[in-house]
């Protein structure tokens, strides 16, 4: 698995557009962890829809990972 960085603007934008609207997902997974007063939720969504038109060698699937952390009433999302 590789992380798409901002120095690949075309692929980065294509992935952002894919997950901005309704998308046909291959799979999803959700994990919730609690540590003291902190709750962390990680949500992974995976799709193969970019394969047909992305000009990226050996592309098999792309995923979106959203990490949400809540501690003392404050929530952050990455």
Q: Which of 63, 75, 76 is nearest to 29 (CA)?
A: 63
pLDDT of residue 1: 62
What pLDDT sits at residue 53?
80
CA distances from 26 to 7, 32, 41, 47, 55 (A): 27, 21, 20, 5, 20
Q: What is the chain's pLDDT, residue by residue, as a tens digit (78 residues)?
A: 677 888 888 888 888 888 898 888 999 999 999 999 999 999 999 999 888 888 788 888 899 999 999 999 999 999
Note the pLDDT of residue 72.
92
pTM (two decimals): 0.77
Provide the edge-to-edge strand list for the sheet that holds 38-47: 27-35, 38-47, 62-71, 74-77
Q: What is the pLDDT of residue 75?
A: 97
């Amino acid at each position: 698995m590789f992380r798409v960085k901002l120095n690949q603007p075309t692929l980065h934008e294509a992935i952002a557009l894919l997950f901005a609207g309704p998308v046909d997902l291959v799979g999803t997974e959700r994990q919730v962890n609690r540590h003291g007063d902190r709750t962390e939720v990680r949500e992974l969504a995976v799709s193969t829809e970019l394969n047909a038109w992305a000009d990226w060698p050996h592309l098999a699937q792309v995923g979106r990972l959203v990490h949400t952390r809540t501690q003392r009433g404050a929530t952050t999302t990455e």
